[in-house]
């Protein structure tokens, strides 16, 4: 079962930040500077976490995984709200990551 996962990171080193960006980009849609919206299975999430663990410095960097609900239930549309400019591509069901 795929679920929407909001992945946000705070990486203190530019070189590691770029590596994290490239890794997470392979799993989701870039939403903001250090925020991605991903559709992940449990296996995808575990794989992504392991890849990131190999890059980040655990004492100074942080990656947050916020599960928003299943893709089938349109949970992202129900659980996310915005102020400012719209986040247009909420319908991600057609995307393959």
Q: Which residues are annotated as a binding site?
A: 10
Please tell me the distance from the alpha carbon of residue 76 to that of residue 28, in angstroms, as a whole number: 13
Of the candidates 68, 21, 70, 80, the residue with the CA atom closest to the CA atom of residue 48: 21
Which residues sit in the known binding site for Mg(2+)? 10
Which neighbouring-strand residues pair with 65?
A: 7
> Helix/strand/coil (H, E, C) string of 77-91?
HHHCCCCCCCCCCCC
């Amino acid at each position: 079962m795929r679920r929407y996962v909001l992945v946000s990171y705070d990486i203190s080193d530019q070189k590691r930040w770029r590596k994290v960006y490239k890794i997470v980009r392979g799993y989701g849609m870039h939403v903001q500077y250090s925020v991605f919206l991903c559709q992940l299975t449990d296996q995808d999430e575990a794989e992504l976490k392991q890849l990131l663990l190999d890059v980040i410095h655990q004492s100074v960097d942080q990656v947050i995984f916020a599960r928003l609900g299943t893709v089938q239930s349109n949970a992202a549309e129900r659980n996310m709200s915005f102020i400012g400019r719209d986040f247009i591509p909420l319908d991600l069901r057609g995307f393959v990551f």
